[in-house]
Amino acid sequence: MTFIEQLRAARALNDSHLCVGLDPDPAKFPGAWKGDASKIFDFCAAIVDATHDLAIAFKPQIAYFAAQRAEDQLERLIQHIKRVAPQVPVILDAKRGDIGATAEQYAVEAFERYQADAVTLSPFMGFDSVEPYLKHEGKGAILLCRTSNKGGDDWQMQRLADVPGQPRLFEHLAHLAQTQWNKNGQLGLVVGATYPEELARVRALAPDLPLLVPGVGAQGGDAAATVKAAGTAAPLMVNSSRAILYADNGPGFAAAARRVAQATRDALRG
């Protein structure tokens, strides 16, 4: 199946809009694992085992693995997800953004080395920084559009004087992703839950695209407002990372993670 088909199948199977973010920080690991980077796989695998029937997707953040020289554990983790939850797609959160041969290599990294089903990208350099990923049939490319951080205002909210109607940058990007950039139906957008009005605007401009929505949970985004703004006609992946991963720092951390994930999944269902 394509990434979009995987999302729809996972949504139907697990009745979920919840994307579980995998951002392993050894300093926050439970018990004897605390501070031990060699336990990254074990920690994340336990979270996956506890939540895979509640999720529409898993989203490992590559920096948390690379900073600990744990890329091999990331490879093992994605293999593990595909064994225990083959119906749940994996989004590699890498936010790559480069052109030409370099972008081609990043695409190989995401889709061939790590076997991810989709990857997050920064489209700042334009369509030729996105196109190499679209050559990988069926894979997803999820573009940063209106991000959850305050600094996103520096660029994303600026109006484009040379474009008819003077849309803001994030609006123009949403339009491009819905139309001429989305040649093979592989694109999605990242829009923060912390900006529900902009989220609704992106959905109006890109009604068919899957949306990856960070900011619910530890960042304070409201689940009900997120679903209302984004709608659910197209796939919606509302990400929660820290609130699930670090729900408890004792031996019952995985069970606690499941409880938080289930509560979040249920809140997103309304």
Mean pLDDT of the 130-135 span: 97
Percent of the residues in the chain that have a pLDDT greater than 90, as a whole number? 89
Measure the CA–CA gap between 217 and 269, rounded to whole angstroms: 15
Arithmetic mean of pLDDT, 127-156? 94
**For 261-266, what is the mean pLDDT?**
96
Task: Give me the chain's average pLDDT, please.
Answer: 95
pLDDT at 131 over 60: yes
Task: Decide if 55 contacts 261 (C-beta within 8 A).
Answer: yes
Cα–Cα dist 228/246, whole Å = 27
Is residue 57 within 8 Å of residue 262, measured between CB atoms? no
φ, ψ dihedrals at 91, nearest 5°: -105, 120
The Cα 187–Cα 33 span in angstroms is 38
User: Quick one: tokens of 125?
Assistant: 């350099």
Closest CA to 80 of 111, 43, 110: 43
Among all residues, which ones are annotated catalytic? 95
Query: Are residues 143 and 177 in contact, defined by beta-carbon separation less than 8 angstroms?
Result: yes
* Neighbour-count burial of 203, counting CB atoms closer than 10 A to its CB (0-12 exposed, 13-18 middle, 19+ buried): buried
What is the pLDDT confidence band of residue 175, given thresholds at 50, 70 and 90? very high
Give 41's pLDDT tier (boundaries 50, 70, 90).
very high
If pLDDT is split at 50, 70 and 90, which confidence band does 224 have?
confident
* Residue 7 and residue 56 in contact, taking contact as beta carbons nearer than 8 Å: yes
pLDDT tens readout for residues 80-116: 999 999 999 999 999 999 999 999 999 999 999 999 9
Look at residue 209 and tell me whether its pLDDT is greater than 60.
Answer: yes
Residue 218 has pLDDT above 60, yes or no: no
pLDDT of residue 69 exceeding 90: yes
Query: If you write DSSP's letter for every residue of the chain in order, what string do you get?
Result: --HHHHHHHHHHHHT--EEEEE---GGG--GGGTT-GGGHHHHHHHHHHHHTTT-SEEEEBHHHHHTTT-HHHHHHHHHHHHHH-TTS-BEEEEEE---HHHHHHHHHIIIIIS--SEEEE-GGG-GGGTHHHHTSTT-EEEEEEE-SSGGGHHHHT-B-TTSTT--BHHHHHHHHHHTTT-TTS-EEEEE-TT-HHHHHHHHHH-TTS-EEE--BSTT-B-HHHHHHHH-SSS-EEEEE-HHHHTS-SSTTHHHHHHHHHHHHHHHHH-
What's the pLDDT at 142?
A: 98
Predicted pLDDT at 220: 65
Q: How does residue 270 score in pLDDT terms, banded at 50, 70 and 90?
A: low
> For residue 13, what pLDDT is reported?
97
Mean pLDDT of 202-225: 86
pTM score of the predicted model:
0.96
Mean pLDDT in residue range 178-196: 94
Cβ proximity of 123 and 91 under 8 Å: no
pLDDT at residue number 114: 98
Token pair recorded at residue 7: 């999302």
Answer yes or no: is pLDDT of 4 > 70: yes
* Residue 72 CB burial class (10 angstroms; 0-12, 13-18, ≥19): exposed
What pLDDT does 89 receive?
98
Q: Go through the domains of the chain in sequence order and give each one's CATH number.
A: 3-269 (3.20.20.70)
